[in-house]
Amino acid sequence: MLRVYRRRVRLCVGVLATGLILAGCSGGGGDGTAKPAGSGPTGSKGPTASGDTRSSPAPSPSATGLDFTPDPGRAPKTRAEALRLARAIAAAPARWGPGFVKRSPYESDPAFRPVLDTDCVWQLKPLPATVLATLTRYSELPAEDGKGPIRVAAVVTVHRTVKDADWEMAGTLEEALRCPDQQLRQGERITELGSLGAGFGLMGNLTAEDMLTEGGKYYSDELGGPHHYYSTQSRMGQVTVAAFGKGSKGRSMDEVNTALLQGAGAMVSAAESELGASE
């Protein structure tokens, strides 16, 4: 199936070291002209006559605003429509870069989604009423020449409303605060997880209405560790798209990030073309 993307999106994300330090990022059209981190337009929601001098940075519609206007007519309303949309958006192997292939299993069961329990262990749970559909696709750059694989995952979640999607973003940030160490599944865990969320125009987020990044260390019984762990999650209207990447022996942090940003960018573009008003 041929798909024409409305624009090429290169995601702009911070590289998150563990803990607090987070560098700015570049993005936009990939021409290197991205705004500096944190230079979002200034809104009026902050404190007024405060002893504090900050003004509240908040996105505002402007000439440099997000190039995406949702078309209400294209918003999915049923579970079937939502699943079709998720399949259209979730990155296939080629979207992550040359050499990526499907893993097995390739797709998750769309009736379930992972939830982080009180012990910081991920468990599969049935979809809540606020979620119309979710789909995860697993791909990898296979091990070769003594290097381990780069494993990536694409997760698309279609919510009933924008507000529900907003709460999912908040929930993801909450998870990192609550559980800096998480067990992904038996034999796989991440530690020292840090996260950062930024609305459009802030911290270099020039691609989505809301975006967050997470970084940490990955350990597995199979691949050892610590390896680089990185993820991004973007919200476009009622849809969130997330990309997860895990390094392994002989794979640099840059290799993982490059693949991740390509896959995530492809998904943001796809979401825009699926949901946006035609120009």
| Contacting residues toward another protein, per CB under 8 A | 19-24, 36-40, 42, 45-58, 163, 166-167, 169-171, 173-174, 177-178, 180, 194, 196-199, 202-203
The distance of closest approach from Cβ of residue 1 to another protein in the complex, given in angstroms and rounded to an integer, is 35
- In terms of CB distance, is 150 or 193 closer to another protein? 193
The distance of closest approach from Cβ of residue 23 to another protein in the complex, given in angstroms and rounded to an integer, is 6
- In terms of CB distance, is 203 or 266 closer to another protein? 203
The SS3 of residue 100 is coil
- In terms of CB distance, is 40 or 97 closer to another protein? 40
Question: Quick one: how far is CA 174 from the chain centroid?
Answer: 15
Residues 6+ apart with CB under 8 A from 16: 22, 194, 195, 196, 213, 214, 215, 230
- In terms of CB distance, is 53 or 104 closer to another protein? 53
Two structure tokens written together for 217: 């260390």
- In terms of CB distance, is 50 or 104 closer to another protein? 50
Query: How far is 61 from 109, CA to CA, in rounded Å?
Result: 38
The C-alpha torsion from 224 through 91 and 95 to 99, rounded to 10°, is 40
Question: What angle separates helix 79-89 from helix 253-275, to the nearest 10 degrees?
Answer: 140
The distance of closest approach from Cβ of residue 273 to another protein in the complex, given in angstroms and rounded to an integer, is 25
The distance of closest approach from Cβ of residue 21 to another protein in the complex, given in angstroms and rounded to an integer, is 7
Residues 6+ apart with CB under 8 A from 121: 182, 183
The distance of closest approach from Cβ of residue 157 to another protein in the complex, given in angstroms and rounded to an integer, is 15
